[in-house]
Structure 1
Amino acid sequence: MIGVVVPAHNEEAFLPRSLGAMLEASRQEALAGEPVRIVVVLDACTDGSAAIARAHGIDTLAVKARNVGRARAAGAHLLLAAGARWLAFTDADSHVSPGWLVAQLAQEADAVCGSIMVDDWSEHPHSVREYFRKTYVDADGHRHVHGANLGVSADAYRRAGGFPPLKCREDVALVDRLIASGARIAWSAAPRVTTSARTSARASGGFADTLVAWAAG
């Protein structure tokens, strides 16, 4: 079974599109009928996120951590206990491409770090979009780490010790652990994920805060 973990803290505005894209990715013929189980980890949600997940037929796990590292780890633990051989991670404000899971598995690596695209720059000055365009490497061999586009085998995840309980950069910390454990990492642009460029951060120090800092110069 392939497991997909989506941490969410009050993400009702983004979840419908995000979950719809994940369901499409889970139904690709190239997966050869292998089951895909998606879990939305509801971290201290007080909005309609839970109801949206239920309406899509997707499992939820409620935690009160306000900590994305703990949320991702909780979802991974649940899916590993259910027999997942591969764990894929994305974010509630992102939408994956139809071939996202297929592309991760095709890398035949212990872990896959994918790149991202941004769907709407309207909340930022033009300078932020230009800086991203000039400095971001969206090609094979990049060295970006994004929790919105990350995959890892169950065995490699266990060997590395999983996500640390960090409120930010938990994805980078996991990849550092994977590298230290000798995991084979594919730095690939093949698994496609589009994410938001919102200015209201869910995790302090994350992508939203990075973009705001760029705007401030």
Structure 2
Amino acid sequence: MGIVIPAHNEQDEILGCLHSVTQSCAEASNDLAQFAYQIFVVIDACTDDTLSLVEDFAHHHSNITILTTSFKNVGSARNFAWNYFMERVRADRNADFDLTWVAFTDADSRVPLHWVATHLAMMQAGVDCLVGTVSPRPDTGSAELIAKWFSMHTLFENHPHVFGANLGLRGSYLDLVGGIPQLPIGEDTAIVAAVLKTGGNVRRTDACRVLTSARLQGRAEGGFSTYMQSLR
């Protein structure tokens, strides 16, 4: 399993994200004897202390790989990590792309303990693309703002949303559609559409909801933060 986290100037958020992801991996490891994973943090055009913080964290976690890029483009950053992971899988003669899973979240997000296990269970059940839910973190926005967000988002099984902070894909399908579209925003919606077009099994679920920042100043114009601004 590969877990991809793009990060552009996320010194205030990245450690919280990494703590939640590594804890979720440890939880899955307790239940799955053959579970192997690698976390890919893409340091994309960072000018703050994100890189040094991740380097310090990685000293204590051997399953973290740091990739540095200058795209300043979340789609390109996700795709770069996927290609890197793909080459490593291909180098392993015993690896099977059909049994390879790639999960995506964001640097300002916090995944639940059962996040990794849920993604893997979906893969084993024949799902090719997991489209999970997210909700704003209560500690990052006003109660009024978050209540307004929930008034416009009903989170349930077979929900209509796509969130890049909670997305998972079977390796063979990512390979089939040519990887992640290299878009500054909307790459998550585009990849789900590509999987559906090729006949993939897409599961929209609220079984492993991710908490993400309700900040109003984000990293991608037109992204989640821009939407939160529109709710004020």
Same fold (TM over 0.5): yes
Aligned to 1:206: 223
User: SS in structure 2 opposite 1:208?
Assistant: helix
Which whole-Å CA distance do the structure 2 matches of 1:86 and 1:193 have between them? Answer: 18
Native 8 Å contact 1:4 1:39 kept in 2 = yes
- Flag the 1:154–1:206 CA change in 2: closer, same or farther, 3 A: same
Shift in Å, 1:9: 0.4
Shift in Å, 1:131: 2.5
- Flag the 1:31–1:54 CA change in 2: closer, same or farther, 3 A: farther
User: SS in structure 2 opposite 1:147?
Assistant: coil
1:37 lines up with 2:38 in the alignment: yes
Shift in Å, 1:52: 1.6
Shift in Å, 1:97: 0.8
1:62 lines up with 2:68 in the alignment: yes
Which whole-Å CA distance do the structure 1 matches of 2:133 and 2:33 have between them? Answer: 25
TM-score normalised to structure 1 length: 0.93
Amino acid at match of 2:16: R
After superposition, what is the alpha-carbon deviation per residue over 1:122-156, rounded to whole angstroms, capped at 9, x for unaligned? 64572x32332222121111021111000001001
1:105 to 120, 138, 154: 120
Q: 5 Å matches for 1:157-176? A: 157-176=174-193
User: SS in structure 1 opposite 2:216?
Assistant: coil
- Flag the 1:125–1:24 CA change in 2: closer, same or farther, 3 A: closer
Aligned to 1:151: 168
1:117 lines up with 2:154 in the alignment: no
User: SS in structure 1 opposite 2:35?
Assistant: coil
Native 8 Å contact 2:136 2:146 kept in 1 = no
User: SS in structure 1 opposite 2:138?
Assistant: coil
Number of aligned positions between the proteins: 213
Which whole-Å CA distance do the structure 1 matches of 2:203 and 2:128 have between them? Answer: 8
Amino acid at match of 2:167: L
Which whole-Å CA distance do the structure 1 matches of 2:140 and 2:16 have between them? Answer: 19
Aligned to 2:94: none
Shift in Å, 1:101: 1.1
Amino acid at match of 2:87: A
- Flag the 1:8–1:122 CA change in 2: closer, same or farther, 3 A: closer
Aligned to 1:86: 101
Native 8 Å contact 2:138 2:146 kept in 1 = no
User: For the aligned residues, what is the CA RMSD?
Assistant: 1.5
2:155 to 119, 133, 138: 138
Shift in Å, 1:30: 2.6
Native 8 Å contact 1:104 1:190 kept in 2 = no
Native 8 Å contact 2:146 2:214 kept in 1 = no
User: SS in structure 2 opposite 1:177?
Assistant: helix
Shift in Å, 1:157: 0.8
Which whole-Å CA distance do the structure 1 matches of 2:10 and 2:32 have between them? Answer: 28
- Flag the 1:122–1:9 CA change in 2: closer, same or farther, 3 A: closer
Which whole-Å CA distance do the structure 2 matches of 1:44 and 1:90 have between them? Answer: 18
Amino acid at match of 2:116: L
